[in-house]
Each structure stands twice: as structure tokens, then as C-alpha cells.
Amino acid sequence: MNRLAAPILLFVLGAVAVQQVVFGGYVDYVRPGHGPLLAIAGGLLMAVGLWGVGAGLRTAPEGSAGAARLARARVHTRGPLAADRETLDRLRAEEQAEGHDHARVPGVGWLLVLPVFLVLLVPPPALGAFAASRAGAEVPRPAAVATDALAGPDPVPVEVHDYAERAAWDGGRTLAGHTVVLTGFVTPREAGGWYLSRMMISCCAADARSYLVEVVGAPAQREPAKNSWQEVTGTYTPGDGTHTARVTALEVRPVAAPQDPYELP
């Protein structure tokens, strides 16, 4: 492999980062606020990659000085000009020491092809029912439960994590008497029925927390497909476990997946 491999890899990585921001795919993996940083970093990698391709094309025929010396010594295998074994070993060692470090892709660097492959060819979807069901139905304890009244006239749209926290950690005090609209995806419930669920991330999908709201009531009887996005209009009902959330549905209707799949703190 020659001096072009490393700059090309750098360029491709940068291009994928920029592509994710331009076409919006990145919100499946990191928080939207990360976009500008990702675009700048990607642009920088593309620029350095292009610069390296340019520099590599200018010097590629020569290769590194050490590689050229080694190649020259190898040409003569016999006759008076032949290099002896010692010389060859020394030149090889010099070439390794000089050229190896910086112009080439360090072996482990090729692992970065894996995220590129995944993102471009089999883009992994945003975290869904599998991830949401793993931590159980208990709502993560909020730093502080929102105690302010819901904003706007009924039916009022509420974020799933906001509803779940008010319901599970504040006894639904601020929810009672309201008709709320929740949007989330379907996570099947082991004991029957289903949850309307949403993941919340602070930085990226590796720090995701799941918020599950059990949906009960007549419109919830026909169980929608796992992972499908639904809009539930309903009223607060106390959950049966400790620190779990539940809603009684007045209406359940399928909706398109939102632009940003995750909720933010």
C-alpha cells in the first residue's frame, strides 16, 4: 500500500461525517446539536485528505527515500553490483523506521472502515423497541420533576419522558385533568399490551435512557406493530408498579417517524 491510502481513508471518513450532517442521518446516532461540530470536523478531515492525495500524487513515483534506496539495492541480485544480505537488512530497517510511522495507515486504522461501511451500506436505525425494553419499565429518576403546569390548551402535546417523569415521580399531580398528546414508538409489554416509548440521549446513543408509558383503554386494544410510531391522545392514569407510567388512550393513530427520533434532557 502506498502513500495515497491514508489520505484517501481520511477523506472518506470526513466525507461520511459531512454526508450524515447534510442529509440528516446523524440524528439517529448523536444529538442534533452535535451536527455543526461533526460537519466542521468532517470538512477538516476531507481537506487534510485532499491535501495528502495531492502531496502523495506529487511524490508517489519516488516513494520515501528509504523505500527508493531499498528498491534500488534489490534490483541487482547478482554480479558486482549486488547488495549483500547485511546491506539489504539495514536498508529495510531504515525504510521501516522512516517510512513506516507517518505516511502509512497504521494497521488498526483500517478498523475505521467498519463504521463507514455500516453507515453507507446498512445504516443502523435509531434505537427502538429492543433497546427500550431492556432496562425495564421503571422511569429513570429525574434530577428534578417539572412541577410547572402543562403549556397550552387541551389536548396538549407532552414529551414522552416529561409525561413519564410527571406520572412516575410526582404522582401525576400536574397531569390530572388534562388531555395529553404523546408521540413515540411501540414497545410490546411482556405481560400483554404495549408501551408507547421514547429514548432520551444527552450526547449519543451510547448514553440513551428509555421512557416507557403503558397504554391502556379501548383504543389500545388493537395492538399496533412493534416499533411503529403512534400518536396517543389520552388522560393520566396511575401505573401499577413503583415509578412506572401509564396513560388511558382516547385515540391511537399511526404517524410518520419524527425527524429527531430521540428526546433531549
Within 144-203, which residues bind other proteins (CB under 8 A)? 144, 202-203
**Distance between CA 189 and CA 25 in Å, rounded?**
29
Q: Does 9 bind other proteins (CB under 8 A)?
A: yes
Q: Which is nearer to other proteins, 6 or 215 (CB)?
A: 6
Our finding on whether 107 is near other proteins (CB under 8 A) is yes
Min dist. Cβ of residue 82 to other proteins (A):
8
Q: Is residue 34 a contact point for other proteins (CB under 8 A)?
A: yes
Q: Does 93 bind other proteins (CB under 8 A)?
A: no
Shortest reach from residue 73's CB to other proteins, in Å: 4
Name 133's bridge partners. none
- What does the block give as the cell for 214? 403503558
* Residues from 49 through 78 that contact other proteins (CB under 8 A): 51-52, 55, 60-61, 63, 68-69, 71-76
- Omega into 155 within 30° of 0, i.e. cis? yes
Binding residue for other proteins (CB under 8 A) from 22, 24, 81, 176?
A: 81
Chosen residue from 15, 32, 105, 217 binding other proteins by CB under 8 A = 105
Cβ proximity to other proteins, 176 vs 264, nearer residue: 264
d(CA 246, CA 177): 15
Span interacting with other proteins, options 41-49, 216-224, 228-236, 246-254, rule CB under 8 A: 41-49
Q: Using CB under 8 A, which of 93, 96, 134, 255 touches other proteins? A: 134
Q: Which is nearer to other proteins, 25 or 157 (CB)?
A: 25
Beta-bridged to residue 179, according to DSSP, are: 235
Among 265, 145, 159, 261, smallest CA distance to 203 is for: 265
Q: Hey, what's the cell of 249?
A: 388512550
Rounded Cα gap, residues 113 and 118, in angstroms: 9
Q: At what angle do helices 85-103 and 65-75 cross, to 10 degrees?
A: 150
Q: Bridge-partner residues for 185, per DSSP? A: 197, 229
